[in-house]
Amino acid sequence: MGLLSDPNRRRALINLLTRLNAPICALCYFAGVCWFMGLAFEPFTLRTYMSENAMGSTMVEERFPSGERALATGKEFAAHKKKVGGMPVDWLVKTMQAQGLEVFTQSFSRTLPFPDENKERYIVKGTNVYGILRAPRAPRTEALVLSAPCSPGDNNNQAVGLLLGLAHYFRSQVFWAKDIIFLVNEHDLIGMQAWLESYHHTNTTGMDWSPLQGRGGSIQAALSLELSSDVITSLDIILEGLNGQLPNLDLANLFYAFCQKIGVLCTIQGRLQRNDWDSVSGYSHAVQTMMLMVMKQASGRPWGDHGLFLRYHIEAATIKGINSFRQYKTDITTVGRLLEGMFRKLNNLLERLHQSYFFYLMPSLSHFVSIGYYMPAFGLLAVILLLRALDLWVQLVSPPAVAADGVGDIAQQSSPGVLSVLTPLVISHLTGAALYILPTRFQEIAVEHFPVSETEAVVLTAIAVYTAGLALPHNTHRLLSGEGTEQGWRVLKLVAVLYLAVLLGCTALINFSLGFILALTLVPVAAFVTPHVPKTLSAVVLVILSPAFTLLFSVFFFQELEEMPVSFQDGWLLYLSVISQGILDHYLYGSLVYPLIALMVYPCWLLFWNILFWK
């Protein structure tokens, strides 16, 4: 405390930080990247463990015997689905009623803001079917959910068959203390969104749906099932939900524990765990697995039906069966026993899952990185912004240099006008508002005047507004106040740096992966940009580190991590598809990535663009 309370020592510290500002910033950036890359090294991670006492032991005897019956039911479901050309509602209702469940249906409809060309739909209408197994030994105040989406074609028929098989088997057991809801939802995430909104009496997306006629208790946990093969080689758990939310780590630990007990190969991000962590290939495998989780979490989109449960504080995950070329095979009976064991453990819960972590990264299913380990990597990047802000503040408050004749520099003494700082700030945010509003509002006009589809019109309008923003705020400090001053760009940069620090800090607290990726590209921009650097080279660097190019690089990087590299042409088409899907996810499910980029990140980047061309 004496260092800060003593004026002389405080002045010496500030002088040291300002004199060595650039080397310290470079060192912090390098240390932050190295810290993050080191998170996947196994000795630096923690082993997973069960924190919830009610789920601490897997000593339950799983007896599910009806794998063949489940497969037969799945084939029957597929035949009826093909016959009616969609969800066989009547057949599902009769089948669930025959198994002793309370069966209800829910109809819903949703008109998309623009056509979804990936799934070829615009006006979506469908029906959800769900059956409730009432708890025989409890007051029915709590519930668990097992869901399986009714997917087009031959996809996920086995999952629906196994769901119905488990419903029949669970009906004969008497130890259930929670209601169990068996849900078959149509149109994947849209159907799940309609069911969850109706179940919780909310409507945040403007969807039309009929109210539910039957409800269970408060939902404690949920599992979504995706199986499209009679046999599988491994089970993959998908954790990433809407806006980067993750379920409680104990849910993943429970899945891993039962996979170990039953002898099922389990993966995360589709990758098996390796034991050679001390080798270069083993470390590279762990880094790629962790980076896949980072990229998926940063996208903000739900990667399975479970992702929409998380916004209601319901711990949920998707279990996906993978049938690859591995020799090891697992039948449906074994998968059913694994789900039975997990539900029996969740049935023992006395309260919601809360004792384990909600913020984590997983380089493998047996190890995790907690928030206390990965946040310093972001902190090292964020401290660069504070150091630059300190340097700018010292320059602003320091007295002007005095010439030999005793007269101070008039240009240095003149303080910037409020409009010279406020004008670029306002215009940059108006440009961001245009980027958020115009693509969906002007799609009809674009379709009338140009030979493009509505989806292409939305994407191309967004790109046009984004590109126009590079010219619109150009030299806006001169719009109302004439020539800008040397002090003016420093004040504007101080505001922009502090704005970026708060923005990235808040983003990293909600979605660390998104905040860290943005910090990797925006912090160097905030650190080096001034009006005195070479304009052409700096402009190129600024554009390369802009949010749009960050997304483009992320698309190619994600494809490399998925071991499905694409050509530049295919990558560009995929990039356009990602933009349209991000806008759709915002309007359909409430994803916050698109408004965050359009209304905050892009305007903040425009401020640095304006500083570069300050005159």
Give residue-wise pLDDT tens across range 409-455.
544 445 666 777 788 888 899 999 999 999 988 877 777 777 778 88
SS3 label, residue 262 = helix
- Average pLDDT of every residue of the chain: 87
- List the structure tokens of 477: 């400090």
Residue 480 has pLDDT above 60, yes or no: no
* Count of CA atoms in the C-beta half-sphere (13 A) of 392: 24
Q: Which value, to the nearest 10 degrees, does the dihedral of the CA atoms of residues 187, 188, 194, 198 take?
A: 130
pLDDT at position 402: 52
Distant-in-sequence, close-in-space partners of 146: CB < 8 Å, separation ≥ 6: 163, 166, 180, 181, 182, 183, 222, 223, 225, 339, 343
Tokens 């629906």 correspond to 160
**pLDDT single digits (tens) 331-347:** 899 999 999 999 999 99
Query: Taken in order 441, 445, 451, 454, is the CA torsion positive or negative?
Result: positive
Residue 63 has pLDDT above 50, yes or no: yes
Residue 472 has pLDDT above 50, yes or no: yes
* Count of CA atoms in the C-beta half-sphere (13 A) of 487: 17
Distant-in-sequence, close-in-space partners of 392: CB < 8 Å, separation ≥ 6: 490, 493, 494, 497
Measured between alpha carbons, how far is 421 from 408 in angstroms, rounded to an integer?
A: 24
SS3 label, residue 405 = coil
Residue 293 has pLDDT above 70, yes or no: yes
- List the structure tokens of 578: 């990602």
Q: Which value, to the nearest 10 degrees, does the dihedral of the CA atoms of residues 564, 565, 571, 577 take?
A: 10
Does 298 or 61 have the greater pLDDT score?
A: 298
pLDDT band at 482 (very low <50, low <70, confident <90, very high): very low
Residue 514 has pLDDT above 90, yes or no: yes
Residue 184 has pLDDT above 70, yes or no: yes
Measured between alpha carbons, how far is 591 from 60 in angstroms, rounded to an integer?
A: 39
**218-226/315-322 β-pairing:** parallel
Measured between alpha carbons, how far is 269 from 598 in angstroms, rounded to an integer?
A: 29
SS3 label, residue 481 = helix
pLDDT at position 114: 83
Of 12-26, 314-328, 488-502, 580-594, minimum mean pLDDT range: 12-26
pLDDT at position 337: 93
Residue 484 has pLDDT above 60, yes or no: no
Measured between alpha carbons, how far is 134 from 420 in angstroms, rounded to an integer?
A: 67
The structural domains of the chain, with segments of one domain joined by +, span 53-272+301-365, 414-612
Give, in words, the CATH class of 53-272+301-365. alpha beta
Closest CA to 577 of 264, 117, 224: 117
Residue 466 has pLDDT above 60, yes or no: yes
Query: Taken in order 546, 547, 551, 554, is the CA torsion positive or negative?
Result: positive
How many helices and strands in the chain, by DSSP H and E? 23, 14
pLDDT at position 301: 92
pLDDT at position 56: 67
**pLDDT single digits (tens) 200-244:** 998 888 889 999 998 888 999 999 999 988 888 999 999 999 999
Give yes or no for a contact between 503 and 604, defined as CB atoms under 8 angstroms apart: yes
pLDDT at position 430: 92
Residue 132 has pLDDT above 50, yes or no: yes
Measured between alpha carbons, how far is 243 from 547 in angstroms, rounded to an integer?
A: 18
Q: What percent of the chain has pLDDT over 70?
A: 91
pLDDT at position 518: 96
What does the buried/exposed string (b/e) look like for 231-259 if buried means 16 or more CB atoms within 10 Å of the residue's CB? ebbbbbbbbbbbbbbbbbbbbbbbbbbbb
Measured between alpha carbons, how far is 178 from 439 in angstroms, rounded to an integer?
A: 46
Measured between alpha carbons, how far is 160 from 467 in angstroms, rounded to an integer?
A: 47
Tokens 């101070």 correspond to 408
Measured between alpha carbons, how far is 194 from 20 in angstroms, rounded to an integer?
A: 56
pLDDT at position 256: 93
Measured between alpha carbons, how far is 410 from 393 in angstroms, rounded to an integer?
A: 19
Measured between alpha carbons, how far is 481 from 249 in angstroms, rounded to an integer?
A: 55
pLDDT at position 440: 87
